[in-house]
Structure 1
């Protein structure tokens, strides 16, 4: 979204006079989106080395598309541990062939606060390193998992006659991984990768908030100078800043009873949860860029039984850490509040909760702005030009990396739409153009041709 103001038109018009002091205060209160279109593209030309890298990609466009199909059709839903293990083996083999030293990293399983007292298992993550002479230490990051489970109907990549690509994870983010791998191959064949001081990190749990891999991301991020995340863009707008994310779970324990003959002896967990849900949803405040969504709720087992257990899974979005902490505190307060009372069983219902702020807000960063400006300039001469920037409500692992001090550009993947749904799509043109862009960008970072603001 672009926000450009002509002050004379805004402050004074035929029908409206605005108090400048009040307007200045209003500007301060507006969300970060207002600043999200101020990055100015650089003007650049391609060197012979740049052109050679671009030619390498062009000559392999068919094989890159074929490779994308293989990646997309390997199911890697976050809960498909076998599928993620197989996919990690593919990535491990590819990186080893490029001269990387690889290592797997495990995350412990996590108990989930539900009526069934479930446990969530996380597949191992993969890191790969190369140590060269480049003074810039680069971290390239992508996530292996998607939101599509093994039993989902959306499992294949369809290439439409007009070049549109439809498939699970095509933009989020199998396309980004294929772009990264081919950029590394091009750099390797050109001898540029020999100088790289680089780590590649693939985690397996991004779609559940990187709850297991966050410590690993933070540890590795602090060992590098620049982060590049291969998440996709939208409408050729790359993300400059992002909201923070949190999540919470409620579990309510009541007392089951016959809904007809002993209704008065029951304590409805579902009724208690319903009241809490209304209170939680009322925390949404669009003016302050804070939203809450109770995305999953369940309660009871039978129509004719007062439900003895109910549960909810909650999403939180916020503009900064202070707003996130306030939101989390309000949700915890609601969790502890009691709405349903049966004098026969005053101790019931029992409410349990869990809440975490799993991704910090990603603020505007001058070093990232330099990278975006360079990417915009390069994309103009390469093709599929980046049109500008945006402020996103969605989170990525770039937020975690930048949260511990690593300037991170997190929209180097394919341009797409419909993520997390059966409408997910991108284009073949975007796949090839972004592969060219990533290849030249990484080459220029390795050899120091990109001037970065601090």
Structure 2
């Protein structure tokens, strides 16, 4: 090759940059995969109609009948695809239950676990009801989180069936009925999901697609969700004697010291912590849900009790334990004549990033490349909340965010971009088809 030709080739490569190089060397879609993509396009309108039906059925976490009604809508959808479906009621955890659907393949490819949820944060009295469209934007309770994700999941599976790539795939679907507020005890509420994770080789989470500065992103990590409850007690008496040896500082000043120390001493990478509720006085009590405090007192009485409740989120189990220990140490440094206890409840475990999950994102980017789409970077885990995939993260690598693109989740403006429905379904279907052909 002449020096001139080498220089021209170098210039073209520089102009093209890495995405162009990757596309030039891509094998492209197989004929079966082309049929999958075409089937997604053909099935998108039916998937939107299913999404509307799901959204129009209220399924707030505390509406068990509504959650089960959504499961009943979905059961024949999975059965039509050859899945064995089981509804597992969970009255012992105070929640509706979970939907499990299992598809037996040829027993040689990767065993794939698909995770989503039936419930939403919107109860029947939320004032947010019904599905509506404004162009290609869908609005309604749970339209993105997570009924949109369930619609993506089913559209992908239907396309695989139409193209003949589903028959060999070993797939288990778990749709929980209490993702927005896990039932208690958590160990029982998530026991079946954890067992499913132990059976799987790969886990795919169908909650909202991640974005960063307008770019679609991959996600391989989620942070934990833990709550803490602080109870502070002190000596009570006339306010003229506060800070004396006999009365000390009172419960409210001790509570303020602890919260201030949290703010100054706890910060570290990937950690957030919040104070959500505070109250104190001559009397202070939580309600049964610990979401309200009833307090009373007088300006001239040193308060004997103060209460606070909040959360903290971490990226690893080690970080959860370390931060919890530091919080306990801060609480233990009492002001005079005060005492305090800190109760920590670990609700959602963290899903730390792993080499296996990064390799799975690389597989997804092979799909993006072969579709001619931009490659997806790795989103900062600070941008993701807690989720059910974290319960299986100790046993299986996974990807997060195969659901719809959307905005304003958990608000009365929750919306989803319907243009992302076929795009996400193609990604999911092609990735599952390739994983099903990958030996265990």
Normalising by structure 1, what TM-score? 0.74
Q: How does 1:208-219 map to 2 (within 5 A)?
A: 208=181, 211=186, 213-219=189-195
Question: Aligned to 1:295, which of 264, 276, 280?
Answer: 276
1 CA distance for matches of 2:86 and 2:125?
30
2 CA distance for matches of 1:340 and 1:65?
63
Other structure's SS at 2:101 match: strand
Other structure's SS at 1:195 match: coil
Q: Is the 8 A contact 1:142 1:229 kept in 2?
A: yes
Of 384-393 and 180-189, deviating more is 384-393
Matched, 1:318 2:314: yes
Other structure's SS at 2:66 match: helix
2 CA distance for matches of 1:268 and 1:97?
65
Matched, 1:280 2:262: yes
Partner of 1:94: 77
Question: Aligned to 1:151, which of 100, 125, 130?
Answer: 125
Partner of 1:331: 327
Q: Is the 8 A contact 2:279 2:295 kept in 1?
A: no
Question: Aligned to 2:222, which of 232, 239, 242?
Answer: 242
Question: Aligned to 2:150, which of 177, 186, 190?
Answer: 177
Question: Aligned to 2:378, which of 379, 389, 397?
Answer: 389
Question: Aligned to 2:420, which of 413, 430, 440?
Answer: 430
2 CA distance for matches of 1:150 and 1:55?
38
2 CA distance for matches of 1:445 and 1:168?
33
Cα distance change on mapping 1:245 and 1:374 into 2, 3 Å:
same
Other structure's SS at 1:55 match: helix
Question: Aligned to 1:439, which of 411, 429, 438?
Answer: 429
Other structure's SS at 1:102 match: strand
Deviation at 1:44, TM superposition (A): 4.3
Deviation at 1:132, TM superposition (A): 2.2
> C-alpha offsets along residues 141-191 of structure 1, whole Å, 9 cap, x if unaligned?
112222223322333333223x22333322222111111112222223344
Normalising by structure 2, what TM-score? 0.76
Matched, 1:207 2:180: yes
Question: Aligned to 2:141, which of 168, 179, 183?
Answer: 168
Q: Is the 8 A contact 2:231 2:308 kept in 1?
A: yes
Other structure's SS at 2:380 match: strand
2 CA distance for matches of 1:86 and 1:376?
36
Count, aligned residues: 388
1 CA distance for matches of 2:120 and 2:266?
27
> C-alpha offsets along residues 181-205 of structure 1, whole Å, 9 cap, x if unaligned?
1222222334433322221111122
Partner of 1:370: 359
Matched, 1:127 2:100: yes
Q: Is the 8 A contact 2:111 2:171 kept in 1?
A: yes
Matched, 1:418 2:400: no
2 CA distance for matches of 1:225 and 1:359?
19
Deviation at 1:383, TM superposition (A): 7.2
Cα distance change on mapping 1:216 and 1:276 into 2, 3 Å:
farther
2 CA distance for matches of 1:51 and 1:216?
36
Other structure's SS at 2:354 match: coil
2 CA distance for matches of 1:416 and 1:340?
51
Cα distance change on mapping 1:424 and 1:254 into 2, 3 Å:
farther
Matched, 1:188 2:184: no
Q: Is the 8 A contact 2:58 2:123 kept in 1?
A: yes
Cα distance change on mapping 1:387 and 1:189 into 2, 3 Å:
closer
Q: Is the 8 A contact 2:332 2:340 kept in 1?
A: no
Partner of 1:345: none
Other structure's SS at 2:148 match: helix
Matched, 1:229 2:205: yes
Deviation at 1:302, TM superposition (A): 5.8
Deviation at 1:272, TM superposition (A): 5.3
Question: Aligned to 1:85, which of 68, 77, 86?
Answer: 68
Other structure's SS at 2:199 match: coil
Other structure's SS at 2:119 match: coil
2 CA distance for matches of 1:93 and 1:434?
23
Partner of 1:409: 399
Cα distance change on mapping 1:75 and 1:256 into 2, 3 Å:
farther
Deviation at 1:356, TM superposition (A): 2.0
Deviation at 1:402, TM superposition (A): 2.0
1 CA distance for matches of 2:327 and 2:334?
13
Other structure's SS at 2:226 match: strand
